Structure 1
Amino acid sequence: MVKNRHDGDRGIPEISFAAPAGAPAGVEVLSLADLRRRVPRERLAVPQRPDFHHLITLGAGMLRHPVDFTAHTLEPGSWLWIRPGQVHQWDDLTRAEGTLILFRQDFLDPATAAWARLDDPHAPVLRRPLADEAEALRLAAGHLASEFHALGHLPLEIHTAALRHLLAVLVLRLAHLTSPAGRPSAEPDATYLRFRDAVEKNFARTRRVEDYAEALGYSSRTLSRATLASVGLGAKEVIDRRVVLEAKRLLAHSDQTAARIADRLGFSSATHFSKFFHQHTGQSPIAFRGTVRGHAPG
């Protein structure tokens, strides 16, 4: 199912996709019961940073699943979508029955990847579809699971193509759920998307809105209007939140010093980084590391 590796530079445990023997490369469908049988509980409990997508849905029970320091609670009919690069860990699986779908982003064609916003690192993690959408998603997941487990009934190339199409239906439906108000989800503003992608690439190099505005050909005011309209935050807050998230990931899941993390994130000194982190979280970096690891800082 997955293959562990460790990125020595980042110090965060990495999980790479490994297809089951004989199965098409790039996708796997299994039950949570299968996951419990195949992977020891203590290994599941370790924080993981996969380079592939996870889709989790429940048929019965409840599952608490932390993703990037936010604990999400799944109930029957809800879906959790974990994207490449996000840090997550499995909680107690004994109270949940459901389906886990794993897939590499390049398993789907580029058009589907774009329409389903697969590269959006800020897309909602937890999704609770309306009743009719929940049924459509249940059927789509069921068809995908049936085809995945029908290996050998069709030539491998045809089987793979069928899986690709069935997975496309599922992710497109998930990405375009109706909002709670009964309206289709609004398309993100193009200016915001350009800014978001630029921040994702450059947050460790600059935290100045002016630098992004100049690079993208907008005014700082235009960027702030776009981010306020799309996510309810100013442009500077979008940048700072991305830096804080990466700092938390590195503090929680690596043993790098605060000085090393400060350097990785583009701060001039560990003192400057500590002041920034405390301003945004209310904790020093060392105190946060102690809290998230369940012990007092030494």
Structure 2
Amino acid sequence: MVPSGHLSPATRPDLPRPEIDILELADLTPEADPHRPVLLDRDLLVLVTGGHGIAELDFNALPCRPGTLLRAGPGQVLRCPARLDAIVLRWHAGVLRGLDVDPDAVPHHHQLVGEDEDAVINEVSQLVVDHRRHRDDPAAHALLRHQLAVLLIRLALLRGAPDAGRTPDETGPHRTEVVTFHRFCREVEASYPHTRRVEDYAARLGCSVRTLTRACLAVTGHSAKQVVDERVALQARRLLAATDEPVARIGRQLGFPEPTNFGRFFTREVGVSPGAFRAARDRPPARIARPRRPADPATLNGQA
């Protein structure tokens, strides 16, 4: 019994509601155009429970069937076929604050099998049940947060651990190059709308352009300039596909005051004009124009 003059945990206004939602795929699709990709504003975990089809995450076509897992983050674009059934977990980044878990360590696309599939389905099912029963009870928020954290840690382990005692061969990237590349990617993520000059990034990181280029070539096979341009082109494709923002405005957001310069840049990177790319956004995934130098969204968003 709650003492007189005190509020129960379920009614205390100072305690926030849990920032974890349980959705269906239909809840993510725009009502006006269900075929259009969705620009995500929160973290997502999608567990396919029925149907077969091709989902599209940042313009990469991903085969899906029961047991397929998709992980997406804010800023990415996602399109899933209507014939798929799935459980969707959505959360704000702050819900995991203070917990030793890295959502970006979860694979973006994975087909669960065997014991892994059984364990993940059980954990997702329990989270769904507890969310339905306790989502309005602040006393249970810690339970939901920790259930999500345990699920994400389990999924991160699906990537597998490196072989014990293995050392990089002479042709592979060395640790210093990998560290430099990841630092570079974080800077690119923060500053790509403002500058595409590798010299600016080198100055911020306190190294030479040659060092950045060597690190990028070792890790991705692309130059530092290509890494920056690919990130800008990816954002342009996201905004063209998932919003109705005018092409010229998108160009200005990405650092192109002149629409013609943005058009030339986009056509060079993607292979079609911005207008042609936008016109193709409602077609099946295979018809969407692909970049000439495909970029790993996890890598270019500093998620690797």
TM-score by length of 1: 0.73
* 1:279 counterpart residue number: 268
Which of 117, 124, 127 is the matching residue for 1:134?
A: 117
| Match runs of 1:1-298 below 5 Å | 24-30=17-23, 32=24, 36=26, 44-93=34-83, 96-113=84-101, 115-117=102-104, 124-129=107-112, 131-151=114-134, 156-179=137-160, 189-293=178-282
- The count of corresponding residues between Structure 1 and Structure 2 is 258
Look up the equivalent residue of 1:245 and give its one-letter code: L
1: CA distance, partners of 2:223 / 2:242: 29
Contact 1:64 1:92 in 2 (8 A): no
Look up the equivalent residue of 1:211 and give its one-letter code: D
Secondary structure of the corresponding residue to residue 92 of structure 1: coil
Contact 1:130 1:178 in 2 (8 A): no
1: CA distance, partners of 2:157 / 2:38: 27
C-alpha spacing 1:75/1:230, structure 2 compared with 1 (3 Å):
farther
Secondary structure of the corresponding residue to residue 77 of structure 2: coil
The structure, 1 or 2, with the larger RCO (C-alpha pairs under 8 Å, 6+ apart) is 2
Say which is worse superposed, 41-50 or 215-224, in terms of deviation: 41-50
Secondary structure of the corresponding residue to residue 280 of structure 2: helix
1:232-290 C-alpha deviation (Å, 9 max, x unpaired): 43322221111111111232334444433322211252222222111111112222222
1: CA distance, partners of 2:179 / 2:149: 23
Secondary structure of the corresponding residue to residue 117 of structure 1: helix
How large is the RMSD of aligned CA atoms in angstroms? Answer: 3.3
Contact 2:216 2:222 in 1 (8 A): yes
C-alpha spacing 1:193/1:40, structure 2 compared with 1 (3 Å):
closer
Deviation at 1:82, TM superposition (A): 1.6
C-alpha spacing 1:103/1:43, structure 2 compared with 1 (3 Å):
farther
Contact 1:44 1:89 in 2 (8 A): no
2: CA distance, partners of 1:49 / 1:129: 26
Deviation at 1:25, TM superposition (A): 2.7
Give unmatched runs, 5+ long, in structure 2: 1-15, 169-174, 284-304
Identity %: 33
Secondary structure of the corresponding residue to residue 75 of structure 2: coil
C-alpha spacing 1:146/1:229, structure 2 compared with 1 (3 Å):
farther
1:158-191 C-alpha deviation (Å, 9 max, x unpaired): 31111111100111222342359989xx999432
1:197-245 C-alpha deviation (Å, 9 max, x unpaired): 1111111111121211110112223323333444443322221111111
Say which is worse superposed, 221-230 or 141-150, in terms of deviation: 221-230
TM-score by length of 2: 0.72
Say which is worse superposed, 279-288 or 222-231, in terms of deviation: 222-231
Look up the equivalent residue of 1:117 and give its one-letter code: D
Give unmatched runs, 5+ long, in structure 1: 1-22
Say which is worse superposed, 212-221 or 67-76, in terms of deviation: 67-76
Look up the equivalent residue of 1:175 and give its one-letter code: A
Contact 1:191 1:223 in 2 (8 A): yes
